[in-house]
Structure formats: C-alpha cells, structure tokens
C-alpha cells in the first residue's frame, strides 16, 4: 500500500487539501445508500418505488434526463417531495455513523491525517447532498464542505426534493471551489493545493492542484492521469479498520 503523501514544500500563506468523497474516501457511492437508509427507517412503503428509481436511471443512461434531474427524482421517490430537516437529520447522523464505521478506505483516513498534520486546510468537495455529507465531514474532521444544496423555500425547516443551484459535479464543482477560495481570501499564487479524486469528472480540480492524486481511479482517470503526470494510488489495498 502506498504511504501517505508527505512531500516537503516551501512556505505558502495557505495549504489546502481538496478531497472528493464518493469512491475516493468512501469505498462506494453514498447517495443511493442514504436514500434507502432513510426509506427503510422512515417510510418502508417507499421501497416499493425502487422500480421507478430504476426507470429513472435508465432515462439518465439514455440521456433523456441529466444528473441533477435524476438525483431530484430519486430523492422525491424515496424520501418525499417535501420533508422536515428535523425529521431527516437523525437519519443523516445514523447514516454517517454507518459509513464511517464500515465504508471508508483506511488509506484515505491516513492521508487525511497526514495532510492535517502537515497544516493543510481540509476541504471536502462532493456532488452528494449537504443533507448528509455534513455529518460525514464532521466525523472526518474536515474544515470546510462544498456539496450539492437542496431547495429550502420555506426556511431552514422544510426541504424540497429539488436542487438549489448546480449539482456540485465536474466544472460546477470547480466553480464552487473557485468561489470558496475567493470567499476565504485565498489566491492561487498564495496557496499550495493538493487534490484527490477517483473520477475523471474531477479533472478541473486535479488540473488546478499543485499535487494531484488519482485515488483508486475510474477507467477514464486511470488513462488520463499518466498523461497529466498525476500520481496514481490504489486505496483499496488495505481492507478493514
């Protein structure tokens, strides 16, 4: 198994380590797991709608709907058109406990710890929903989180099954990172940036970084990484915690 990245670098005003979450830190995607976790504990009859979830997935595969629409449809089917944050929050917490207990790459945790020890500000940037990502990020000790927002037109209590703004994915994720840096007065020339992702959709973030790491990469990223000179690591090499 590869040792955590510990490259010695010159002094910068800022050090930032940017992490994707699903299949980078976690062993598998978390979005579907969260929806099923909620349905099983809240309204089990919604599990009967799983065939419709499958149809939505087929529509996405055929490019009849985009990724944002797919996520909103599945949320509406398995959680509801409109729901209370106070009702879902305990389920988000219990799901985060489940993910952290059994669903993380130990090598990812070691790298996070090494970056923290080296003085990096830890940023979790993911297309998954803030609704449950915040609870996972807290357990990981992340300093900042960028994730997909849901619409809250009625205020902080009620949430609607539709996205507020862009899905935090690909170029949209990178735009969020750019905005986050500006909001925190971090200029590119004043920062040393590390970035970790498993998927080729994160190429804007990886290209932006001083040190880019393709972590247990998808086929597309595994092909691109050597061309770009990015490090490739397999965080599946160590199982269990």
**238 vs 115: CA distance, rounded Å:** 19
Within its chain, how far is the Cα of 34 from the centroid?
13
pLDDT at 241 over 50: no
Per-residue pLDDT of 100-141, as tens digits, reads 999 999 999 999 999 999 999 999 999 999 999 999 999 999
pLDDT digits (tens, 9 = 90+) for 172-196: 999 999 999 999 999 999 999 999 9
For residues 201-220, give the mean pLDDT.
Answer: 96
Residue 73 token pair: 């449809």
Q: pTM value?
A: 0.91
Asked if 92 and 132 count as a contact pair (C-beta separation under 8 A), the reply is yes
Report the C-alpha gap between 149 and 155 in whole angstroms: 13
Q: Which range among 12-16, 46-50, 90-94 shows the weakest confidence by mean pLDDT? A: 12-16
Judged against a pLDDT cut of 60, whether residue 65 lies above it is answered with yes
Q: Which two three-digit tokens encode residue 145?
A: 């989180």
Residue 213's H or E segment, with its range, is strand 211-215
pLDDT in the model for residue 8? 59
CB-based contact 18:191 (threshold 8 Å): no
Q: Which residue's structure tokens are 């925190």? A: 184
Between β-strands 231-233 and 211-215, what pairing exists: parallel, antiparallel or unpaired? Answer: parallel
* pLDDT band at 4; cut points 50, 70, 90: confident
In the chain, count H helices and then E strands. 9, 9
Locate tokens 């955590």: which residue?
Answer: 4
Beta bridge partners of 16: 121, 193
Q: Which of helix, strand or coil describes residue 164? A: coil
Instruction: Encode burial over 167-203: b for 16+ CB neighbours within 10 A, e otherwise.
Output: bbbbebbbebbeebbeeeebeeeebbbbbbbbbbbbb
Interstrand relation of 14-19 and 121-129 (parallel, antiparallel or unpaired): parallel
User: CB of 29 within 8 A of CB of 37?
Assistant: no
């Amino acid at each position: 198994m590869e040792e955590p990245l510990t490259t010695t670098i010159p002094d910068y005003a800022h050090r930032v380590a940017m992490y994707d979450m699903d299949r980078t830190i976690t062993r598998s995607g978390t979005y579907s797991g969260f929806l099923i976790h909620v349905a099983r504990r809240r309204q089990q009859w919604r599990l009967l709608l799983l065939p419709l979830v499958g149809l939505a997935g087929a529509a996405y595969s055929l490019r009849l709907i985009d990724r944002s629409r797919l996520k909103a449809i599945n949320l509406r089917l398995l959680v509801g058109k409109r729901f209370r944050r106070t009702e879902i929050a305990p389920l988000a917490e219990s799901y985060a406990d489940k993910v952290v207990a059994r669903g993380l790459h130990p090598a990812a945790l070691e790298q996070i710890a090494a970056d923290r020890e080296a003085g990096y500000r830890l940023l979790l940037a993911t297309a998954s929903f803030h609704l449950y990502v915040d609870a996972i990020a807290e357990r990981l000790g992340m300093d900042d989180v960028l994730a997909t927002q849901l619409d809250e037109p009625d205020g902080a209590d009620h949430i609607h099954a539709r996205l507020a703004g862009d899905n935090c994915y690909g170029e949209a994720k990178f735009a969020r990172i750019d905005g986050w840096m500006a909001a925190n007065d971090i200029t590119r020339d004043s920062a040393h940036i590390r970035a970790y992702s498993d998927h080729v959709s994160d190429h804007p973030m990886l290209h932006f970084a001083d040190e880019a790491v393709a972590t247990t990469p998808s086929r597309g990223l595994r092909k691109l990484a050597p061309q770009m000179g990015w490090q490739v690591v397999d965080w599946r090499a160590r199982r269990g915690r």
